Structure formats: structure tokens, C-alpha cells
Chains A and B, each alone.
Chain A
Amino acid sequence: MQAFAALLDALSYQPARNAKLRLIETYLRETPDPDRGWALAALTGGLDFPAAKPALLRGFGEDKIGPELFHWSYDYVGDLAETLSLIWETGPDAGPPPTLGEVVDTLQRATKMQTPAILKRWLDALDATGRWALLKLLTGALRVGVSARLAKQAAANIGNKSVDEVEEIWHGLTPPYRPLLDWLLHDAPKPSTNAGGAFLPPMLANPIERAELEALDPAHFRAEWKWDGIRVQVAASGGVKRLYSRAGEDISAAFPDIIEAIDFEGVFDGELLVRRDETVAPFNDLQQRLNRKAVTPKMLKEHPAHVRLYDVLWLEGEDLRALSFDQRRARLEAWNAEKPRARFDVSPLVIFTDWAHLATLREQMTSDGIEGLMLKRGDSAYLAGRPKGPWFKWKRDPMLVDCVLMYAQRGHGKRSSFYSDYTFGCWREADGKRELAPVGKAYFGFTDEELRWLDKWVRDHTTNRFGPVREVAPELVLEIAFDGIARSTRHKSGVAMRFPRINRIRTDKPAAEADTIDSLVRLMP
């Protein structure tokens, strides 16, 4: 941290571009990893912390020397972070100052509550320049007159490379840029932008309905099944192998079977599934594998994971994202044909002539492992985010079942005063009696107006209270829509719905005519 602080300090006084470059170059050469990488991230705007609020800093200062002296000091210096860094004194028992890596690592993991105490400890341990640099890092802009481009130029210079070469691979690199620095300083191989198994922001689709399709030319679009797993990215490079969720969360630890099977370099977009022999298991099977810290051998054997690939972003050091979908698809298929793999396969294209034909194919597809169709323009580049136009998802019509409302609970946030979480059940025979068994819970699918109506209905028909939960008379039928159903040992009814929501309120239907558990079980694959 002290070396980084000295660098920022020198940069802040240095008006000349070449001298700035020299300062950064010297720092990058002399500072060990990972600090120099974090510094490069700080200079290029690649670090993101929850910002420290001015009020927190002012409070620290006033506690330290009293409000009058702090006010006069701030008034003279004119910068809050600088004032605090100057009035604070290095504590005699503060221990060694933190390294930059330690600061970054700690801040990225610390909660908002923990931050003030950590910050005080560091302020004690650092000198004035160190404190200033730390507070600048924490309050956002460094303002030392260094653009991201200039910092990259300095990085390029230490390896006698051109800045364009660095820029070209930059967006795939993540702090602390170890592979980049190894390339620049130690003649390591040039990193591809998926160096170190970095996550690349995925491309997402917009929902579309049947009627809207008529405005689109089917010849421009390719269709593929939308598999009912979780969207993932497989990233492998330089010996680092990673599996990421759509949001960039590293889920490698929960899927060692996938990680072990990676024998290639590249970044792929696909769907994570549980697959037994040739069959895709219901989503519920995959759910058993998610959010687990330890994976048992039994789990690996009974719920084998598989990735069905949709797209390829990088292949063997080459960025393919600017290519068209058709071109990438050709590369993906050729790559797959070269060496078929047990844990990975390529999601097939659905061949169709026009929208009516595709609609028929969609109706006929009854496999539980499929959520609907994806439509992608053949000429679409792979763009981060959810661009409007190139990609659409056309989900399958949901399954419907009529259930009876059993319990209601108050919601949270803007719904906190409403009974907005509903537990519903279906009929079953037990010991010669007909009774309701809960089959699921729904929190949405209704309008605000329907919510007010449901809330009033719950209050008017309460038969029992258990804390925040009300039991209601078994009289109201709700039509529940859901995307899948699976056997479950966790639920009393033995079934679990995927994505259940309230489709309609069936005041027209007597409760006795609602569906039975048996009819639900028949919907299972």
C-alpha cells in the first residue's frame, strides 16, 4: 500500500506524460504480485468497492480531534479525504501497514458494518500519504491525471509491447492481471482475453410471443431448444478451469465432474443439466446439486452434471464474439466433431420453414427438460447484456392446475402490509377421507388490484392464525401456472413445481372441483 501511495503521490504532482509513464513503469517493475496488478486495476478504473461516505470520514475526523479543530483543518485543506489523512496519526502499536492486495481483498469481502473498524485499523497503520491513497481508493476517483489508456501504455512499455496489443486482450483480463504481467515481464505466453478462466459477460434474450413473430423474417433466425437447467459459462485458459453462473458467480466447486472433464481451452455458453444416459433429468435433479459446499461421491454418481453448449465465445486463444452466430456455430460444431466429449455436447438447431411450422414443433415437444425455444439471428455478434433485436426466448406455454388456497402470509417491502404469499393445495384421499395437501407456494402472477382483492378475501375468511400466517377457509380456487413438476421428498405432497405463479382467480369454480394430487402426478414426465 505504501509503494502504491508513493506512486499516486508522485503522479498527482507530475504534469508530463512521459514522466508519468516512467513512474508507473518503475512501480510495475519493482512491486511484487499481486499488488502491482491491483494498482493497475485502480489506475484503469477496474476496482469497485462500496464507496465510503463523506459523513463517515467527517465523523472519524471529529471524533479524533474535536469538531472545531477538524472544521478549521478541513477549511484550510479543502479536501475531506486529504484532511482526514493528515490529522490522523500513525498508531504506535498498529502493526505493519496493509498491502494493496490485502486492502482490495478485505474490502471486497467486508460488510458495510465491518468497514469502519477495518478502515480505522488501516489508518492507524499507514502514514499520511498511505492514508490519503487509501481514502482516495475508497471514495472513488483517484484524480491523479492518469487515464486508463496511459496506465495500459505504461504496462505495455514494461514488456516492450504496443499498447494496442494490450488493449486487444484487455477486456478479457481481470485484476490482478497476473497472466498479463507474466507475459509483459517474464516472457510467459501472451494471454488470450479468457486468460485465467475469466468470466465474460453473457448475451441475454428478450421474451417474445407468437403474435410478435409475424413481424420477423424467419429466414434471418435460427432456433434451438431452451433447455431447463441453468445457463452457464465454461471458461478454460492457461490451466485455469471455471464454471460460472449467468451472473458470473464461480460455481466450479459444486461441479468437480464438469471441471475435471475440461480438456480444452476456450469460453463456451451453455446450459448446465443433470443427464442420465441420453436423458436430461428434470430441473429438480439439478437443484440437488446447486448451492452445496461439499459434493458427495454418491451425489456425483446419481446426479451426473452435463453442459449442453449453445455458443462459443473464445476458442484456443481467439476471440470469436465479433463473428456472426452462424460463423460461431460452425466453429462450435467443427470443434465438437473433432472430439466428442461425454460431459459436453452441442445443443442441436431446430430446423423449421416458417413460424407456423416452428409453433407446431414447439407444441409437439413435450420433454420436461425443455422450457421453450430460443431464436437467434444468424448474423448476430455475441454482445454483452440484453440487446434488443438479435435474440429472443419463446417459452413453452405453462402447465395449469386448479388448486385451493390454504394459507396466506404477509409479504415484504412494498407488500409488507398485504397477505401476498399464498400456499395452495390439491385434493387427495387418505383413510377414506378427502383432504387438501399443500403442493406449492406462489408470490406473484397477480395484478395490484387482484392483490388487494386477495388480501381482503384472506382477512374475511381467516379460520386460524399462526404468527404471521393465516389459515383460510378452503373455498377459493386459484389457477396455478408452472413450468415443470418433479417428484420431491422435501414436500409433504411428494411433488415440487417449478416457477409456480397465480394465473387466474377462479371464483367461478367450487373448491370441490379443484384438481387432485393424482392429476398432478400424471403431469410428471
Chain B
Amino acid sequence: MTDTLDPRSWLYPTPRGLYCKPGDFYIDPAVAVPRAVITHGHGDHARPGHRAALATPETLAIMRARFEDMPDTQQQPLKYGESVQIGEVDVELAPAGHILGSAQAVLAYRGQRIVVSGDFKRRPDPTCPPFEPIPCDVFITEATFALPVFHHPSDMGEIGKLLRSVATFPERTHLVGVYALGKCQRVIRLLRAAGWDKRIWLHGGLMALCKLYQEQGVDLGDIAHVGDAILETFRGAIVLCPPSALADRWSRRFADPVPAVCSGWMRVRARARQSGAELPLVISDHADWGELCQTLKDVGAPKVWVTHGREEALVHMARSIGIDAEALHLAGRDEEDG
């Protein structure tokens, strides 16, 4: 490490996104750029139109599925643990435990190492390898759930709530709102682990990514498109759909549905009520407060930059344990994606 090197001199936010000067590339840029490093496939991190994009093979597969194959983007797959030099910077991708293919970007320049963690979580996820703490000089962390009120309960416990509700209302259809990428497949895997081996029905908008997960070797069991199946089929069934479809005309085909929503925001009652959920399930792909605090200790970085979310609380906490922490404001982040 070079004492005189200011990390802000080679990695800093710009209106287009977080820019690495000695490598001349952006990380998760908000707009199309000549060269991008993409941490994971969610829409606020992976955008179409870059001339060159470096990401894990899984993330590139997700991007192709979402962006019509991206024929105009030069795709550079980089497996976890392998490294590549871009300009004067060594780039490596390490598992972030967020969704399939999600990675932390580990950047090394003149003996200084900065980890851009992207979105991450610390608890086990049956659809992706776990987060790997990388010792570094600067750690850039998300702060989506950076308040002590956010403590995600056990995900199997939340799935238990869903199955209990199905038992209480056997004649109703349980409509579970999930994000199409990551949450959907994780919830299916959790349901399987909890013993639900019946067919799980899917909204059309979830089909493509589930198919992709299956191709990547994630076993989802018996899943099927709701399509034109007759109403009677859905009594006592579990149907997954994007959260927006819960209030949509689409949901009216089901008899007296129970709307459920899977998200870390469901921890707070006012937020859960706003979502219209009768059955809020706290299942999140982001680190909760305890995991964020633990991660800062695990990576041991003397400097921490805090992005998207409730920065002030995490900055306060980091400073209280002697870390030089500050907020880093990035363009284009959608904090509501929880």
C-alpha cells in the first residue's frame, strides 16, 4: 500500500457512475459506456448498450437473456477467483452471495486494493455461492438495510408462514410477489426445501429467468406458466408473480387471492401495508444491519465508503469502531429494490 496514494484519485463517482481512472472503466454505470465492469444482473447495476462488459459468465448470461442477446456488446466473462488486467488495474471478481452470478469487484492499483461489493448478503442462498470477505484498503458497501431495525429473520421461518397461511386458507390462491431475478428462484428453492413439492405456478414475466437458472444447473422442481389453466387449478396453489402484478388486472383471475410480498422492507409494518400485502414475508437478498456491521469487521478495511441506502447510520456505526467512513453518492441506484 502506498501511503501517499489517495484512493479517491483513481476511483471516484461521476454522473455516469463509479469510474476507475487508471483502468478507464466504469463499475455498474447508470448509462451506456465504452467499458463496464458489472457486479450483477439487476437492472440498476446491469444496463444495456455498453461497448464492452466484463462480468461473471452467469451475469453475462442473465444480461443476454434480458437485453436481447447484446450482440453489440463485447462480452468478457471472468470467473470467480480469476483476475485480469485492465489498463494499469488488476480486476478480480469474488462471490457476493446476492443472486446467481453476483460478484464483488476487487480492484488493485499500485499496491492499493479497493473492493466494490455491489449488492451482497451473508446468509446462505441455495442459488449462488456465499459472500467472500476480501481484505482491502477501501471497502465500498451498500446500505440498503442499514438501520438497526433491519434484522432479517430466518428465511425458512418466513416460508413456514407462507405454508401455514396456505393451510389456513386452503380454498384461496396464494399470490407471492417476487423480483423476477434472484428472489423468485430463491423462494422456489426454499419452498422445495420446506417440503412443498407440488407444482409452483408462475406469472409469464418470471418464466425466462427461471429457465435460465435451470440451464445454469439450479433445480426448481415442477414449475409451470399460469397461462390459460382453469381457475379451479389454483385453489390452494402457490403462484409467483412480479410484485407489480399483485395489484394488476392479471391477479383478478384468481378466486379471493392472498397477496404475499417477499422483501426485506416487509420488516417494517408501514412499508408492508403500503405494498398491499396480506402476508408480508421478510426474505431479502441484501445484508441486514447485523451482516453489514459484521462485514465491515470481516474485511478490516481502514476506509469505508457507503453507497445507496441509509448511509448516515452505517457511517456513524463504522466511525464508532474507528473506521474512516463516509457516504459515496452514486448515480442511478434504485434503493427500493430490496
Where the two chains meet, the residues of A that have a C-beta atom closer than 8 Å to any C-beta of B are 6, 10, 12-15, 19, 22-23, 26, 65-66, 68-70, 72-73, 76-79, 82-83, 86-87, 89, 127-128
Partner of A23, one of B147, B168, B310: B168
Which residues on A sit within 8 Å (CB–CB) of B312? Answer: 72
Q: In the assembly, what is the distance between CA of A26 and CA of B279, in Å? A: 16
Asked if B317 CB lies within 8 Å of chain A CBs, one says yes
Partner of A26, one of B149, B168, B273: B168
Tell whether, in the assembled complex, residue B272 and residue A13 are in contact, meaning their CB atoms are under 8 Å apart. Answer: yes
- Identify the closest chain B residue to A86 (Cβ): B149
User: What 7 new A-B contacts, CB under 8 Å, besides A23-B168, A65-B148, A86-B148?
Assistant: A10-B279, A13-B277, A72-B312, A73-B147, A73-B313, A82-B269, A127-B153
Asked if B118 CB lies within 8 Å of chain A CBs, one says no
29 contacts between A and B (CB under 8 A): A6-B161, A10-B279, A12-B269, A13-B277, A13-B279, A15-B278, A19-B169, A66-B320, A68-B313, A68-B316, A69-B147, A69-B148, A69-B316, A69-B317, A70-B148, A72-B147, A73-B148, A76-B147, A76-B149, A77-B149, A77-B269, A79-B269, A79-B270, A82-B268, A86-B148, A86-B149, A86-B150, A86-B151, A86-B267
Which residues on A sit within 8 Å (CB–CB) of B149? Answer: 73, 76-77, 83, 86-87
Which residues on A sit within 8 Å (CB–CB) of B290? Answer: 89
Q: In the assembly, what is the distance between CA of A153 and CA of B317, in Å? A: 50
Which residues on A sit within 8 Å (CB–CB) of B177? Answer: none
Q: In the assembly, what is the distance between CA of A82 and CA of B148, in Å? A: 12
Asked if B280 CB lies within 8 Å of chain A CBs, one says yes
Q: In the assembly, what is the distance between CA of A87 and CA of B147, in Å? A: 9
Tell whether, in the assembled complex, residue B278 and residue A86 are in contact, meaning their CB atoms are under 8 Å apart. Answer: no
Which residues on B sit within 8 Å (CB–CB) of A26? Answer: 168
Which residues on B sit within 8 Å (CB–CB) of A78? Answer: 270
- Identify the closest chain B residue to A71 (Cβ): B313
Which residues on B sit within 8 Å (CB–CB) of A70? Answer: 148
- Identify the closest chain B residue to A15 (Cβ): B278
Closest Cβ of chain A: how far from B206's Cβ, in Å? 24
Query: Given the interface contacts A77-B270, A78-B270, does A89 sit within 8 Å of B313 by beta carbon?
Result: no
Closest Cβ of chain A: how far from B143's Cβ, in Å? 12
Query: Given the interface contacts A73-B147, A76-B310, A87-B148, does A13 sit within 8 Å of B280 by beta carbon?
Result: yes
Which residues on A sit within 8 Å (CB–CB) of B279? Answer: 10, 13
Closest Cβ of chain A: how far from B91's Cβ, in Å? 35
- Identify the closest chain A residue to B161 (Cβ): A6
- Identify the closest chain A residue to B149 (Cβ): A86
- Identify the closest chain B residue to A90 (Cβ): B151
- Identify the closest chain A residue to B260 (Cβ): A13
Which residues on A sit within 8 Å (CB–CB) of B316? Answer: 68-69
Q: In the assembly, what is the distance between CA of A253 and CA of B76, in Å? A: 86
Which residues on B sit within 8 Å (CB–CB) of A73? Answer: 147-149, 313
Which B residues from 240 to 299 make CB contacts under 8 A with A?
267-270, 272-273, 277-280, 290
Which residues on A sit within 8 Å (CB–CB) of B151? Answer: 86, 89, 128
Which residues on B sit within 8 Å (CB–CB) of A12? Answer: 269
Partner of B169, one of A22, A66, A82: A22
Closest Cβ of chain A: how far from B266's Cβ, in Å? 10
Which residues on B sit within 8 Å (CB–CB) of A10? Answer: 165, 279
Closest Cβ of chain B: how far from A28's Cβ, in Å? 13
Partner of A13, one of B148, B150, B273: B273
Closest Cβ of chain A: how far from B308's Cβ, in Å? 15
Which residues on A sit within 8 Å (CB–CB) of B313? Answer: 68-69, 72-73
Which residues on A sit within 8 Å (CB–CB) of B320? Answer: 66
- Identify the closest chain A residue to B147 (Cβ): A73
Q: In the assembly, what is the distance between CA of A19 and CA of B170, in Å? A: 12
Query: Given the interface contacts A13-B280, A19-B169, does A86 sit within 8 Å of B268 by beta carbon?
Result: yes
Tell whether, in the assembled complex, residue B278 and residue A13 are in contact, meaning their CB atoms are under 8 Å apart. Answer: yes
Closest Cβ of chain B: how far from A236's Cβ, in Å? 40
Q: In the assembly, what is the distance between CA of A26 and CA of B268, in Å? A: 25
Which B residues from 132 to 178 make CB contacts under 8 A with A?
147-151, 153, 161, 165, 168-169
- Identify the closest chain B residue to A85 (Cβ): B149
Q: In the assembly, what is the distance between CA of A83 and CA of B269, in Å? A: 10
- Identify the closest chain A residue to B267 (Cβ): A86
Closest Cβ of chain A: how far from B295's Cβ, in Å? 17
- Identify the closest chain A residue to B259 (Cβ): A13
Q: In the assembly, what is the distance between CA of A127 and CA of B149, in Å? A: 13
- Identify the closest chain A residue to B313 (Cβ): A72
Q: In the assembly, what is the distance between CA of A87 and CA of B161, in Å? A: 22
Q: In the assembly, what is the distance between CA of A26 and CA of B167, in Å? A: 10
- Identify the closest chain A residue to B157 (Cβ): A127
Tell whether, in the assembled complex, residue B269 and residue A22 are in contact, meaning their CB atoms are under 8 Å apart. Answer: no
Q: In the assembly, what is the distance between CA of A68 and CA of B111, in Å? A: 37
Q: Which of A23, A72, A127 is most buried by chain B, counting CB atoms within 10 A of its CB?
A: A72
Q: Which of A13, A19, A22, A76 is most buried by chain B, counting CB atoms within 10 A of its CB?
A: A13
Query: Given the interface contacts A13-B277, A68-B316, A128-B153, does A76 sit within 8 Å of B268 by beta carbon?
Result: yes
Which residues on B sit within 8 Å (CB–CB) of A82? Answer: 268-269
Q: Which of B168, B277, B310, B317 is most buried by chain A, counting CB atoms within 10 A of its CB?
A: B168
Tell whether, in the assembled complex, residue B268 and residue A77 are in contact, meaning their CB atoms are under 8 Å apart. Answer: yes
Which residues on B sit within 8 Å (CB–CB) of A127? Answer: 153
Q: In the assembly, what is the distance between CA of A15 and CA of B273, in Å? A: 10
Q: In the assembly, what is the distance between CA of A503 and CA of B290, in Å? A: 72
Partner of A22, one of B147, B150, B168, B277: B168
Q: In the assembly, what is the distance between CA of A82 and CA of B280, in Å? A: 15
Contact mask for chain B residues 225-244; partner A; CB cutoff 8 A; 1 contact, 0 none: 00000000000000000000
Q: Which of B147, B168, B313 is most buried by chain A, counting CB atoms within 10 A of its CB?
A: B147
Q: In the assembly, what is the distance between CA of A69 and CA of B149, in Å? A: 9
Closest Cβ of chain A: how far from B106's Cβ, in Å? 30
Q: In the assembly, what is the distance between CA of A17 and CA of B243, in Å? A: 24
Which residues on B sit within 8 Å (CB–CB) of A83? Answer: 149
Q: In the assembly, what is the distance between CA of A78 and CA of B270, in Å? A: 8
Q: Which 3 A-B pairs have the closest CB atoms?
A: A86-B149, A87-B148, A73-B149
Q: In the assembly, what is the distance between CA of A22 and CA of B168, in Å? A: 8
Which residues on B sit within 8 Å (CB–CB) of A86? Answer: 148-151, 267-268
Closest Cβ of chain B: how far from A3's Cβ, in Å? 11
Closest Cβ of chain B: how far from A164's Cβ, in Å? 26
Query: Given the interface contacts A77-B270, A86-B151, does A14 sit within 8 Å of B278 by beta carbon?
Result: yes
Which residues on B sit within 8 Å (CB–CB) of A69? Answer: 147-148, 313, 316-317
Q: In the assembly, what is the distance between CA of A13 and CA of B269, in Å? A: 9
